[in-house]
């Protein structure tokens, strides 16, 4: 997912690997039976008056150029940016009114589908590319605009499209795909009352979690920042996960954590033990394969820094497994990871309360509440190798 980034990049490993596609294989698979564009239907069931604006921004896989697509799916490269960043061309598409639909063309792309309510988003171009909205920054021009986004990749191997909460929980929506046989699959819908229920639950949680909620100047709720951004802004204390991390460290100083990162390769196992400030992993032959320093909450919530996950065959898969275990608080209850049974997730008093509140309110239980929420296939992602149509549905704020 696109966590901790402002400049545009293609979908990161969290999404791609969860979809069974390696980052290295994106461009190489961009030719095949899938058409150069497919229909994308936006349906507005938000119950809100006012104009909706849609943006399709990303990387053209055939060329690697960054840019935007118009309603016909035609690609437009960004012009050169500046320092300081310069205004980007207006890439907005007027979306459907409440109760209406609009069908666009989705090109072979890896990027984001933004949508905003009542106001256009402000995008700028730096010398390194597009500057994304970063509403954890109080001076970001989009701070008081209600918006959200989906991430997708469409290439010769098919469509991957998700609903994501990695950076924030905001305007409710779902995504879907239509297959060649006419059947459809969707994900991202909240339970009845789930939108308001999420904010109620987060505000009732002690320890700074309520401070993740951002409101407009008139007091209207706009979003909740992810806990990683909460630490960045000072809303959450950096020590919020310390108690759990300390208990994990103590447990595996005298016992072994077994990681089996590939469901289709059960014989591939790694064994972790703690010594001092280091957790070292060995393979079945006893050879050291990688090690991790004791993480902090920011590393846990962002699945980066001290839990960095390169796109390789050893460290990355182990790190992803650890990240999921820390966020879901399963590392103490199950010494064999990943623990993929949702019934045991978020049961410790110290856990990712943001992710817990989101998953509890999803109609299908699936979400992308942190970067490697795809471990065990609990992510809000749909995929089809021969997609005929994509869908984004703007849901009610209830």
pLDDT in tens, 159-212: 999 999 999 999 999 999 999 999 999 999 999 999 999 999 999 999 999 999
| 88 CB-side CA count, 13 A | 26
Say if residue 88 is in the same domain as residue 38.
yes
**For the chain, percent of residues with pLDDT exceeding 90:** 91
Report the DSSP pairing between strands 37-44 and 389-394. parallel
Q: 152-180 b/e with 16+ CB inside 10 Å = b? A: bbbbbbbbbbbbbbbbbbbbbbbbbbbee
7 within some domain: no
Q: What is the CATH number of the domain that holds 381?
A: 2.60.110.10
Query: Is 151 a catalytic site residue?
Result: yes
Say if residue 37 is in the same domain as residue 175.
yes
Say if residue 319 is in the same domain as residue 262.
yes
* Model confidence band, residue 32 (pLDDT cutoffs 50, 70, 90): low
**Region 19-35: what's the mean pLDDT?**
47
Say if residue 200 is in the same domain as residue 335.
no
Query: Rounded distance, CA 332 to CA 249, Å?
Result: 10
**Region 202-224: what's the mean pLDDT?**
96
Report the DSSP pairing between strands 389-394 and 381-384. unpaired
> Each residue of 253-306: pLDDT tens digit?
999 999 999 999 999 999 999 999 999 999 999 999 999 999 999 999 999 999
**Region 229-243: what's the mean pLDDT?**
97
Say if residue 55 is in the same domain as residue 153.
yes
Confidence at residue 1, expressed as pLDDT on a 0 to 100 scale: 31
228 within some domain: no
Say if residue 34 is in the same domain as residue 73.
yes
Q: Which of 56, 151, 232, 384 is catalytic?
A: 151
Query: Rounded distance, CA 207 to CA 235, Å?
Result: 10
On the question of pLDDT at 144 being above 80, the answer is yes
Closest residue by Cα to residue 173 from 83, 95, 245, 61: 95
235 within some domain: no
On the question of pLDDT at 38 being above 50, the answer is yes
195 within some domain: yes
On the question of pLDDT at 8 being above 70, the answer is no
Burial class (CB within 10 angstroms; exposed 0-12, middle 13-18, buried 19+) of 215: exposed
The tally of domains found in the chain comes to: 2
Please name every residue paired with 162 in a beta bridge, in sequence order, or none if there are none. Answer: 151, 381
Say if residue 246 is in the same domain as residue 195.
no
As given in the structure block, the two tokens for residue 309 are 């996950």
371 within some domain: yes
As given in the structure block, the two tokens for residue 160 are 């991957």
Return the C-alpha torsion angle 20, 21, 23, 28, nearest 10.
170
Confidence at residue 19, expressed as pLDDT on a 0 to 100 scale: 32
**Region 332-343: what's the mean pLDDT?**
97
Say if residue 194 is in the same domain as residue 290.
no
Confidence at residue 208, expressed as pLDDT on a 0 to 100 scale: 93
Confidence at residue 82, expressed as pLDDT on a 0 to 100 scale: 95
Closest residue by Cα to residue 301 from 202, 167, 169, 195: 167
On the question of pLDDT at 5 being above 60, the answer is no
On the question of pLDDT at 23 being above 60, the answer is no
Say if residue 135 is in the same domain as residue 191.
yes
222 within some domain: no
Say if residue 172 is in the same domain as residue 36.
yes
As given in the structure block, the two tokens for residue 157 are 């191997």
Say if residue 54 is in the same domain as residue 133.
yes
Say how many C-beta atoms besides its own lie within 10 A of residue 285's C-beta.
6
Query: Rounded distance, CA 222 to CA 330, Å?
Result: 31
Please, what is the average pLDDT of the chain? 92
On the question of pLDDT at 348 being above 50, the answer is yes
Report the DSSP pairing between strands 109-117 and 184-187. unpaired
| 348 CB-side CA count, 13 A | 21
Say if residue 53 is in the same domain as residue 176.
yes
**Region 328-343: what's the mean pLDDT?**
97
Query: Is 308 a catalytic site residue?
Result: no
Closest residue by Cα to residue 66 from 128, 114, 122, 137: 128
> Each residue of 373-393: pLDDT tens digit?
999 999 999 999 999 999 999
The residue segments making up the domain with residue 116 are 13-205+355-394
Burial class (CB within 10 angstroms; exposed 0-12, middle 13-18, buried 19+) of 363: middle
Q: Which of 167, 296, 379, 384 is catalytic?
A: 167
382 within some domain: yes
21 within some domain: yes
């Amino acid at each position: 997912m696109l966590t901790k980034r402002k400049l545009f990049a293609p979908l990161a490993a969290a999404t791609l690997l969860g979809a069974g596609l390696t980052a290295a294989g994106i461009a190489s698979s961009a030719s095949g039976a899938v058409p150069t564009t497919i229909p994308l239907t936006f349906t507005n069931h938000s119950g809100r008056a006012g104009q909706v604006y849609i943006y399709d921004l990303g990387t053209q896989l055939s060329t690697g150029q960054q840019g935007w697509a118009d309603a016909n799916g035609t690609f437009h490269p960004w012009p050169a940016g500046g320092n300081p960043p310069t205004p980007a061309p207006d890439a907005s598409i007027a979306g459907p009114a409440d109760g209406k639909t609009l069908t666009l063309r989705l090109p072979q792309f890896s990027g984001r589908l933004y949508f905003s309510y009542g106001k256009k988003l402000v995008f700028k171009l730096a010398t390194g590319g597009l500057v994304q909205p970063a509403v954890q920054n109080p001076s970001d021009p989009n701070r008081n605009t209600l918006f959200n986004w989906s991430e997708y990749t469409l290439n010769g191997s098919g469509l991957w499209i998700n609903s994501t909460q990695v950076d924030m929980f905001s305007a409710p929506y779902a995504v879907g795909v239509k297959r060649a046989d006419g059947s459809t699959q969707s994900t991202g819908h909240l339970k009845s009352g789930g939108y308001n229920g999420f904010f109620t639950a987060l505000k009732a949680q002690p320890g700074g979690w309520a401070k993740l909620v951002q409101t407009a100047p008139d007091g209207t709720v706009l979003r909740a920042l992810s806990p990683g951004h909460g630490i960045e802004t000072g809303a959450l204390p950096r020590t919020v996960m310390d108690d759990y991390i300390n208990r994990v460290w103590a447990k595996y100083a005298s016992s072994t954590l077994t990681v089996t990162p590939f469901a289709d390769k059960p014989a591939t196992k790694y064994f972790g033990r703690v010594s001092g400030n280091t957790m070292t992993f060995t393979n079945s032959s006893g050879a050291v394969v990688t090690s991790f320093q004791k993480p902090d909450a920011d590393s846990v919530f962002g699945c980066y820094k001290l839990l960095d996950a390169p796109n390789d065959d050893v460290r990355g898969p182990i790190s992803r497994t650890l990240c999921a275990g820390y966020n879901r608080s399963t590392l103490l209850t199950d010494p064999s990871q990943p623990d993929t049974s949702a019934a045991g997730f978020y049961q410790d008093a110290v856990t990712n309360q943001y992710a817990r509140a989101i998953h509890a309110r999803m109609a299908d239980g699936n979400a992308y509440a942190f970067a490697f929420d795809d471990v065990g296939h609990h992510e809000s992602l749909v995929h089809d190798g021969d997609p005929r149509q994509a869908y984004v549905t703007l849901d009610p704020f209830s």
